[in-house]
Chain A
C-alpha cells in the first residue's frame, strides 16, 4: 500500500467522463517568439491543445522543443506572443492569481533555511492558513509522499529523491486541481524514478487531479499518461497527440505488456518523424 493512501479519500474525484469533462487548458494557435540579440527564436509555434479535467497529459520531446516553455505559459511564468490560452476558462494570469495550480520544478527548489515541514508550509503561509491547519496539512502530505518523521530535518539532510518528494508534497499541500510537473524526476536514478512514478500514478487515480507532465522519457510518459503530446523542436510544435487507454490500476509490470509496447512504439515513431533533419 502506498503510504498515506487513506488520507486521499477526502479529495474529490474527477467529475464527468470522456468529452464531457470540463476543459482545464485550451490553447488555440499559441505561439511564443523570444527576442534574442542575434535572431528571434520561435519557442512555440501554433500550439493547439485541449486538456480536460482529470487528464494526465505528458509533453514529450527532445530538448528545445518548447515543452517547458508551454508549461510556463500555462503557469503564467511566461507569456505567449500570439494566440489564445484559457486556463479554467479564464486567463493564465487569473488562474495563477487564483492559485489554481501547483508547480513542481526540475529541481526541488526547497528553501535551505527552512525545515522540511516549514518548506511544505510555505505556500500555506502565503495563502494565510492558520498554524494548526498548516501543521495538519504538512503532516498529511509528508505522509502521502512517504516522508513521515522527516519534519524537523533540513533539505541538505535528504537525498535528491526525497527532496523532490518534498517538493511534490509542497505542490499538493494547498490542494490545487491542476498539477504542473516539469521533468520532476529527470535528475533521479531509475529505481527512485520508477518508485515515484508508481506513487504519482496512484495519487492521480485517487484524487482525480489534472496533471501536465513534462518528460523526455518514453516509458515514463506511456506509463503515467492518459494522453501523450509529442513535440518537436525548431520551431517548438505539436507533432501528434496519442491517447493511451492502459488499465488505470497498472503497475510497473504493465511496461512489459503488448499494449504498453505498442503505444511506446507509436510515440517513438512520432518522435523520430520530428527528428529527421533532412
Chain B
C-alpha cells in the first residue's frame, strides 16, 4: 500500500516533500486511520455476521467472521476497500450521464455550489462595502448578519425550497440560495475586517492627495482586503458545498450528492452513502484548492506577498 502510493506519485514535488519529512507522517496517519477503520468494521458488523453464520449451521472461526464483516452487502460500517470499489465503479464504471454515476451527481452539486458561492461572494462583498462606508448600515446590519447564522440551516432550507417552489423556482436556484446563505457570512466578516485594515498613515496619505472615497476604496481599501478575503473564501466555498448538499436533502431532489446520500439511507445502501461522502470530500478539497490557486496567482502578481 505504502509502496504503491509512493511509486505512483513520484513527482519531484512529492519527492522533495518526502525529503522534508512530510509524506511519511501523512502516510503513517493514513495507515493508522485505515487500521482503526477495519477494526471498527469488524466490531460494528460482527453481531449481524455472527447471526448469519450461526444460522448457516456450520462451524466458523475468527477468520470467517472477519472476512464476513468486510464483505457485507449492507454493513453498518463498510470496510474501506468496499467504499473504494464502489467509488471506483460509480465514477469510472458508468457513463457520466447515468443517474448511477457519481460524476453526474457531483457535477449537479458542484454547479449549485459554484452558483451559491458566486451569490455569497457578491452578497458578502456588497454588505461589507456598505458596512464600512455607511455608519447606519454598520449599526443596523451587523446584528442581523450574525443572527442569520444562528438559525440552523437544516431548519430554514426546506422553507426556502417550499417558498421558492411556489414562486416557480426549482432546480438550481433554491440550492444556490441556500448555499449562498451559508457562504456570504465568512466573506462579509472577512471583508469588513479587510476593508478596515489600512492603517491611519496609509489613509492620511490618500487624504494628502485629496483622493475621492472611490479612489481610496479602489487603490487602498480593496487591495488591502485581499489578504483577509482569501482565508474567508476558503471557508466560504466549503460552506457553499455543505449548503448545496443540505439543500438537496429536503427537496426530494433526483440528482446531486445530497440526493444520493438520501437515497442511500432510504435503502440502507451504506456503501453508497460512504462513496458519496468521499466524493463530496474530494469536491471540497478540489474547491478549496481552486481558491488556493487563485490566491497563489494574486500573490505572484504582488511580488510574492499577499
Contacts and interface: CB of A to CB of B under 8 A. Distances in A.
Contact of A122 (B219, B224, B302): B219
Contacts of B226: 113
Interface stretch (A30-38, A95-103, A131-139, A229-237): A95-103
Given A102-B208, A111-B223, A157-B303, 18 more contacts: A75-B208, A96-B207, A96-B210, A99-B209, A103-B204, A103-B208, A109-B202, A109-B205, A111-B202, A113-B224, A113-B305, A114-B223, A115-B303, A122-B209, A122-B219, A125-B219, A126-B209, A154-B304
Interface of B: 201-202, 204-211, 215, 219-220, 223-224, 226, 302-306
Interface in A84-124: 96-97, 99, 101-103, 105, 107, 109, 111-115, 122-123
B210 A97 contact: yes
Contact of A105 (B201, B211, B223, B306): B201
Given A99-B209, A126-B209, A126-B211, A111 B220 contact: yes
Contacts, number: 55
A22 to B, nearest CB: 22
A99 B211 CA distance: 10
Interface of A: 75-77, 96-97, 99, 101-103, 105, 107, 109, 111-115, 122-123, 125-127, 153-154, 156-157
Query: Chain B interface mostly helix, strand, loop or mixed?
Result: helix
Contacts of B202: 109, 111
A123 B209 contact: yes
Contact of B205 (A101, A105, A114): A105
B201 A107 contact: yes
A97 B208 CA distance: 8
Nearest to B204: A77
A126 B205 CA distance: 12
Contacts of B219: 111, 122, 125-126
A101 B208 CA distance: 8
B124 to A, nearest CB: 21
Contacts of B201: 105, 107, 109
